[in-house]
Amino acid sequence: MKDKYIIKALKKLRKTPIRREFLVSLKSDLKEYMSYHPVRGPIKAPITKPSHLIFGRIPLLKALALALIVILVFGGGGAAFASQASLPGEALYPVKTFTEDVQEALTFNLDKKVRLHTEFTKKRISEIEKLLEEKGVEARGLEVAQARLEHHTEMVARAIKKEAERGKEVSSLAALIVDDFYLRREEARKIFEAAKEKIKMQRTELHAQLVIAIEAGDKEQAEEIRSEIARLGLLKDEAEVRKNAAMQALRTQKYTLHGQLKKEKRLEVEARSKAEEIQEAKEKVFEAIEDTQEKMIEETEEVLEETGDILYESGVTPKGEQGSLQGTAQGQPEGINFEEIDAVIEEELSSELLFSEDLEGLLEDIEGLDNAGFDI
């Protein structure tokens, strides 16, 4: 069996599927670990959680009320106002979320509470959109925004369910929230799909640059571009995982409220769910097609590179010369002078390298040319 078949079989192992969800989840764990073990700094908790050093064992409601008084008395209202534009991961964001928590704690009417949480849900989606636009899928605050989105949707569903258990009529409110969740889910889906689309376009551009680098024989540049393509691939997967998480959070609470809806509304919701499932199935098919196309592009790039290597190693084409791969599509590279190659090999064989390890390397080169189909 020729070496080239073994090498080809080995290279195919590059396509061995791996669990991308594992890599996305590991990245998330790693980020958390890095935040607790920063570069040459003391171990500290991320600033996104409220500090128990401040509130100690005081019940949350009292603590919030106390803090609100402190803020108002010492004119911290300015900070609270300025924090409204902040995004997760920014310094003032904890002030923003704290203000929201205080508002929520001091709202007792169910209607108002529910409307407050739906407002907060809208804000979270908007924050996610801004983070993705400004900082991409790697944005530090995305996890926080998504966690708070989950929190708000859960609070809304819980509040309504609690009132229903008390015997109150909540079907209209439940219907309103289910419709709102549907809208938020659509928004979340579009936002993450837009982020994925942006990444796909970047990858397409990089593939074009990679072909140029391969044809120019610039291995270093080609390697850099490949790494970047791989990096963007992982980010695309991350965007998909986050999209699914955001949509799932909203879907879960929809199911919680399902029991509170009147029959006609339930049927409408079920029909909508079916339509969503069909849409998701279509998206999966398009993703699978794109993945297949991506694999074909990568295989073509590999063939281009292998052919370029053979031409370069045979001394036919100096490194960096443009158009060195012309004619390879027809299977027989142009301009190869086998007599020249024979002369080089003969000279090497007759030299002092005969009994050294270098000869094995040289023999490997010859085998490589032979295995590539050149008649040596």
Partner 1 sequence: MEEQFSKAYDQYAAGILRHIYFRVSDWNVAQDLTQETFFKAWRNIAPQGSDVKIKSFKAFFYKIASNLIIDYYRSKSRNVLSLEEMEEVYQKEMACEPTQEKEVERVFQRREIEKHLSLLKDEYRQMLIYRYIDDLSIKEIADITGKTPNNVRVIIHRALQALKKKYE
Rounded CA gap, 361 and 348, in Å? Answer: 11
SS3 content of the chain, % helix, strand, coil (to 5): 75, 0, 25
Q: Does position 34 bind partner 1 by CB under 8 A?
A: yes
Q: Does position 1 bind partner 1 by CB under 8 A?
A: yes
Q: Does position 33 bind partner 1 by CB under 8 A?
A: yes
* Among 105, 234, 297, 303, interactor with partner 1 by CB under 8 A: 234
Residue number with CB closer to partner 1 (122 or 207): 207
Q: Does position 319 bind partner 1 by CB under 8 A?
A: no
Minimum Å distance from CB 299 to partner 1?
13
Minimum Å distance from CB 200 to partner 1?
16
Q: Does position 355 bind partner 1 by CB under 8 A?
A: no
Minimum Å distance from CB 3 to partner 1?
5
Window of 29-37, 199-207, 274-282, 333-341 that interacts with partner 1 by CB under 8 A: 29-37
Q: Does position 285 bind partner 1 by CB under 8 A?
A: no
Q: Does position 40 bind partner 1 by CB under 8 A?
A: yes
Q: Does position 284 bind partner 1 by CB under 8 A?
A: no
Cα-to-chain-centroid distance, residue 158: 31
Tokens 């040319």 found at: 369
3-state secondary structure of 319: coil
Q: Does position 216 bind partner 1 by CB under 8 A?
A: no
Tokens 């004119």 found at: 75
Q: Are 340 and 317 in contact (CB under 8 A)?
A: no
Which residues between 60 and 119 bind partner 1 (CB under 8 A)?
A: none
Q: Does position 37 bind partner 1 by CB under 8 A?
A: yes
Calculated CA dihedral for residues 226, 230, 232, 234, nearest 10 degrees? 180
Which residues between 113 and 172 bind partner 1 (CB under 8 A)?
A: 138
Sign of the alpha-carbon dihedral angle for 135, 139, 141, 146: positive
Type and span of the H or E element at 257: helix 219-258
* Among 151, 231, 258, 265, interactor with partner 1 by CB under 8 A: 231
In the structure encoding, which two tokens stand for residue 308, read together? 């370029």
Instruction: Pick the closest to residue 247 from 149, 177, 131, 160 (CA basis).
Output: 149
Rounded CA gap, 26 and 31, in Å? Answer: 9
Q: How many CB atoms lie within 10 A of CB 244?
A: 16
Q: Are 93 and 86 in contact (CB under 8 A)?
A: yes
Minimum Å distance from CB 133 to partner 1?
18
Q: Are 99 and 80 in contact (CB under 8 A)?
A: yes
Residue number with CB closer to partner 1 (43 or 53): 43
Minimum Å distance from CB 178 to partner 1?
37
* Among 103, 219, 240, 328, interactor with partner 1 by CB under 8 A: 219
Instruction: Pick the closest to residue 155 from 253, 62, 283 (CA basis).
Output: 253
Q: How many CB atoms lie within 10 A of CB 29?
A: 9
Q: Does position 289 bind partner 1 by CB under 8 A?
A: no
Q: Are 95 and 139 in contact (CB under 8 A)?
A: no
Q: Does position 357 bind partner 1 by CB under 8 A?
A: yes
Q: Does position 6 bind partner 1 by CB under 8 A?
A: yes
* Among 270, 287, 321, 358, interactor with partner 1 by CB under 8 A: 358
List contacts with partner 1 (CB under 8 A): 1, 3, 6-7, 9-14, 16, 18-20, 22-23, 26-27, 29-31, 33-34, 37-40, 138, 219, 223, 227-228, 230-235, 357-358, 360-361, 363-364
